[in-house]
Homo-oligomer: A and B are copies of this chain.
Amino acid sequence: MERLLSVAHEVIGRCHALAEFTEEPGHITRTFLSPPMRGVHAQVRQWMEAAGMSVRVDAAGNIRGVYAGQTSARLLIGSHLDTVPHAGAFDGILGVILGITLVESLGGRRLPFQIEVIGFSEEEGVKFGVPFIGSRAVIGDLDPALIERISPAIADFGLDPAQLAEARLDSDALGYLEFHIEQGPVLENLDCAVAVVEAIAGQSRFEIAFRGDANHAATPMLSRRDALAAAAEWISAVEREALAAEGLLATVGSIEVEPGAANVIAGVARASLDVRHGDDAIRAAAAGRLLGCAQTIAARRGVTVASKRHLDRPAVRMDAALVSPLERAVARAGHPVHRMTSGAGHDAMILAPIVPAAMLFVRSPGGVSHHPAETVLPEDVTAALQAGMSFLEELEARHA
């Protein structure tokens, strides 16, 4: 246990070391195939090779280390190495380092399956506005238009876009395991180190535009058709609906008004709406209610409203064949077993249709993520390591 805590400190140190590879000095910013990703690959390759893995970087820029086993069956462990602008050191990175560290913990011992640790090149969607490019390449889900868009970046990095097909999984994968920080305060509020993810929430995204009359701020209150007042009333209704429904997340994160002058009533207010839930039917019903609510508010105010759907992604359940052993591993490691739905999307969601997938969340102190203040506790990293080692032992016994 003492020893594991010192390993946990080393895991955290490695995350900080990779944070030095950045596009902006003083910040952590590392987008898809940006120059600092070369340094990350060199460092990760060194750790992987030292752990006895054979390493390649596929044409999508994913770094992949394979630790040989007694059969061709393969367990995947991974997460992503890219970041949002001005990120923290752990989102994504921690999962890759934990994968390498679990292989190191085997001390050269062979299991009845191979382990492939994958550091995905792209999950955040910063560079092309399209997330999950790394994991989509691994399941062969990149469409020709997207391949055409990303090919110059691939070639610039010194990779060959013509070889993208070889990024696809080429052996019988028995599962995919992803460690990731929670990116929320649930575990902190529960005082839990880790949680087993049951499902990744489905997500709908809309743009809602209220249109009234841009008029002088001298216009009497009763003669106004104020697009921002309508939007404000609706934003409050969105929040109320979400608070009233178990597990529903609804966010208006952006709003823009026209003309946007202090002395002119807003003629147009354009807002985003993001709706998430682990149950697709509940999410669809909630999105319908929220759009209906915008219509009702607009009609009462003599304002019009139009909505456009930008995203409709179904919920993805994690696979019981991996979730159950992961839960048992958490329990054997001496930690309470908390199950939760992930509100955020992850690479595990992309792999789940192809490979049985499971995720373990690690507490985010303060619920902070996508921010320089993002951190993890050494004790929680220890818990994740214990659970991971115990999970490998159960799989070893099952496949023996």
Binding site for B on A (CB under 8 A): 183-186, 189, 201, 205, 214-223, 226, 228-229, 231-233, 235-236, 239, 242-243, 248-255, 257, 259-266, 272-274, 276, 310, 342-344, 367-371
Contact B243 A228 (CB under 8 A): no
Please name the residue on chain B nearest to A343 by beta carbon: B218
Please name the residue on chain B nearest to A219 by beta carbon: B184
Contact B221 A239 (CB under 8 A): yes
Contact B217 A251 (CB under 8 A): yes
Kindly identify which residue among B186, B219, B228, B262 contacts A220, using a CB–CB cutoff of 8 Å. B186
Contact B254 A216 (CB under 8 A): no
Tell me how far the C-beta of A212 lies from the nearest C-beta in chain B, rounded to whole angstroms.
Answer: 12
Q: Which residues of B contact A276 (CB under 8 A)?
A: 217-218
Contact A218 B184 (CB under 8 A): yes
Contact B226 A239 (CB under 8 A): yes
Known: A219-B367, A371-B214. A254 touches B243 (CB 8 A): no
Q: Which residues of B contact A254 (CB under 8 A)?
A: 257, 260-262, 266
Kindly identify which residue among B185, B253, B262 contacts A253, using a CB–CB cutoff of 8 Å. B262
Contact A242 B221 (CB under 8 A): yes
Distance between Cα atoms of A342 and B220 in the complex (Å): 10
Tell me how far the C-beta of A376 lies from the nearest C-beta in chain B, rounded to whole angstroms.
Answer: 16
Distance between Cα atoms of A222 and B367 in the complex (Å): 12
Tell me how far the C-beta of A36 lies from the nearest C-beta in chain B, rounded to whole angstroms.
Answer: 22
Known: A228-B253, A252-B228, A262-B205. A221 touches B236 (CB 8 A): no
Distance between Cα atoms of A368 and B310 in the complex (Å): 35
Q: Which residues of B contact A369 (CB under 8 A)?
A: 215-216
Kindly identify which residue among B243, B252, B260 contacts A221, using a CB–CB cutoff of 8 Å. B243
Q: Which residues of B contact A250 (CB under 8 A)?
A: 221
Q: Shortest 6 CB-CB distances between A and B: which pairs?
A: A218-B343, A232-B235, A262-B272, A218-B344, A217-B251, A232-B232
Tell me how far the C-beta of A282 lies from the nearest C-beta in chain B, rounded to whole angstroms.
Answer: 14
Contact B232 A189 (CB under 8 A): no
Contact B253 A217 (CB under 8 A): yes
Tell me how far the C-beta of A237 lies from the nearest C-beta in chain B, rounded to whole angstroms.
Answer: 9
Known: A205-B262, A218-B342. A184 touches B223 (CB 8 A): yes
Contact B185 A223 (CB under 8 A): yes
Distance between Cα atoms of A233 and B239 in the complex (Å): 10
Q: Would you give 12 A-B contacts (Cβ < 8 Å), ordered by A?
A: A184-B218, A184-B219, A184-B223, A214-B371, A216-B370, A217-B274, A218-B276, A220-B249, A226-B239, A254-B266, A261-B272, A262-B310
Distance between Cα atoms of A235 and B272 in the complex (Å): 18
Contact B253 A255 (CB under 8 A): no
Q: Which of A218, A239, A276 has the most CB of B within 10 A?
A: A218
Tell me how far the C-beta of A252 lies from the nearest C-beta in chain B, rounded to whole angstroms.
Answer: 6
Contact A216 B184 (CB under 8 A): yes
Distance between Cα atoms of A236 and B342 in the complex (Å): 33
Q: Which residues of B contact A219 (CB under 8 A)?
A: 183-185, 249, 343, 367
Distance between Cα atoms of A370 and B217 in the complex (Å): 11
Q: Which residues of B contact A228 (CB under 8 A)?
A: 235, 252-253, 255
Contact A367 B223 (CB under 8 A): yes
Please name the residue on chain B nearest to A262 by beta carbon: B272
Known: A216-B344, A219-B185, A344-B218. A263 touches B274 (CB 8 A): yes
Q: Which residues of B contact A243 (CB under 8 A)?
A: 221-222
Q: Which residues of B contact A186 (CB under 8 A)?
A: 220, 223
